[in-house]
Chains A and B, each alone.
Chain A
Amino acid sequence: MTLDITDLKVTIGGKEILRGVDLSLQEGRVHGLAGESGSGKTMTGLAVLGLLPHGSRATGSIALGDRELLTLPPKELNRVRGGEVAMVFQDPATSLHPMLTIGKQLTEHMRHHLGVDKREARRRAVELLGKVRIPGAEEAYGRFPHQFSGGMRQRVAIAIALACSPKVLIADEPTTALDVTVQAGVLRLLRGLCDELGLAVLLVTHDLGVMSAVADEVSVMKDGLVVETGARGQVLREPAHPYTRSLLDSLPDAGSDPAPAPRSEDS
């Protein structure tokens, strides 16, 4: 299923936060969204889920297949959210309840959205934990979030997001809080799920290296607008917009392999 955002404008308390965002997500593709802090990346994701802060107004269009999400009645939107469209946040603590076992969190979700019985929900939950490569899924089912490492918690959060077989996954900085070694595993997982399940993924990240590793298309936001969109290789290698170029130039690596830092080249 595709998700098409056209001319999305969001105002919060009279202040225009998004000023006409256009974005298009395709099945089996990862769309990377970069841009400076405060440019509106998170707000774009929240708008898709109908989770904008209180007092916001959204105009334009967010079309999921042939349904318009912006005008969907609250009850139907509720079904879409967590069902067909799911979200993963930077901090797994935001997505996980500290007092419930992860098994409980996975199955509640499925029983609520899919109406499956307890046994079937459990079977699926264990299968999902295996899919996000949590070792010993049967035993892990009964554990609490704090009994996992940061990287595993983020995998569990992804499993919960996947519980109701969403078509669209919005991942807002899913690896920013993780070590590079752990990040590598989560990125591989996201890419694999996208390929295997045909998910349409919106990946919000500051890190252009992460972008380069998993995104198919890349969009860059600045001040509430998408200033550049294109294929990964094109945007990262031949950026058209000066802002994208400045982002790339500010990187210590500037696209190179590990090599001597310029400062010490004489040594």
Chain B
Amino acid sequence: MTLLAIDDLVVEHRSPGRPIVRAVAGASLSVGPGEVVGLVGESGCGKSTLARAVCGLNPVTEGSITFDGQPVTPLGLRRRKLTGIQMVFQDPYASLNPRRRVGDQIADGLRTSGDTATAPADLLERVGLPRDFVSRHPHEFSGGQRQRIAIARALAARPRLLIGDEPISALDASAQSQVATLMRDLAVDSGAGLLFISHDLSVVRLIADRIAVMYLGRIVEVGNTAEVWANPRHPYTQALLRAIPKPDGMGVLPAELPGDVPDPADPPAGCRFNPRCPQVMDVCRDKEPDFGPVACWLHEPK
């Protein structure tokens, strides 16, 4: 059964006097209950825009998003709390109110889910923080602790889908894997799905059942994490994995992927990766490979 289904989603940003930015340009993705899906891709490729659309924070231009069989439509804040989707943002200040005690903010989440048996301090304990932190304000914590509080607050609402948008990039390496693993365990234990967004593949690899690789508004490869890691098929996925430096003590410089992510307001014709692709062919410049699980002419389904 699918919890979240995203089909051919297009999301556009319109700002006066500027060309329309098609930040998500026909992306399809699904998340099942108890499943962790990692969404990776370079900065600006549209990960946050996709996540915000799932939460009803960005209007859908084309395509559809269904959650539990119901279409997701732009919602007011109050209604959204009832839909069972919670999001943890990159900057925990964006999800926490700086002027309220963290215990009160977690209590809001508990009220949303109608949970009267759990105390805010119980949730702090579950994310590995001391119970007496409930009476403190967000600024009294380190970046890593604030991130845990944002997670506790999201979990208090008992979401059936948790979305983390680069929830860990402000943390150092060991704290990153701790917090990522914590999100996975807490989501999966309660049977919720987790869509985990990051540009750090090594962390995604640690917690995701499936990986989706995004490039310039489209999902270019989806697959089982272990399979994608061992055998990446899309040239962009291959480039991403090659760019991760290995801590093997050998002094090998990681491979460079030349060029920047092109402007989504003016994407290249044909395959969007073609100007940077080491394996580009003639067909790539004319026709967009509009299929999955690997959107590349080298992997056309038979």
Contacts and interface: CB of A to CB of B under 8 A. Distances in A.
A153 B168 CA distance: 23
Given A149-B260, A209-B202, 9 more contacts: A37-B172, A179-B42, A184-B257, A187-B253, A188-B256, A209-B254, A252-B206, A253-B202, A256-B248
B243 A181 contact: yes
A255 B225 contact: no
A99 interface: no
A236 B173 contact: no
A214 B173 CA distance: 18
Given A213-B251, A250-B177, A257 B246 contact: yes
Contacts, number: 136
A191 B246 CA distance: 16
Interface string A178-219: 011111110110010000000000000011111111111000
Given A236-B249, A247-B174, A259-B230, A179 B199 contact: yes
Chain B CB within 10 A, most for which of A149, A191, A209, A263: A209
A252 B243 contact: no
Contacts of B227: 260, 267
B47 to A, nearest CB: 11
Interface in B234-280: 239-241, 243-257, 260-261
B248 A258 contact: no
A154 B201 CA distance: 21
B213 to A, nearest CB: 12
B175 interface: yes
Contact of B206 (A180, A209, A211, A261): A261
11 contacts: A180-B240, A180-B243, A180-B244, A181-B239, A184-B255, A209-B202, A209-B247, A214-B253, A252-B205, A260-B229, A261-B226
Q: Dominant SS at the A interface?
A: helix
B247 A208 contact: yes
Interface in B181-215: 199-203, 205-206
Nearest to A231: B249
B245 A213 contact: yes
B172 A187 contact: no
Contacts of A188: 253, 256
Contacts of A252: 177, 202-203, 205-206
Contact of B248 (A206, A212, A234): A212
B135 interface: no
B229 A259 contact: yes
B226 A183 contact: no
A99 B240 CA distance: 34
Nearest to A205: B173
Contacts of A184: 243, 245, 253-257
A207 B173 CA distance: 7
A132 to B, nearest CB: 14
Contacts of A259: 229-230
Interface string B67-91: 0000000000000000000000000
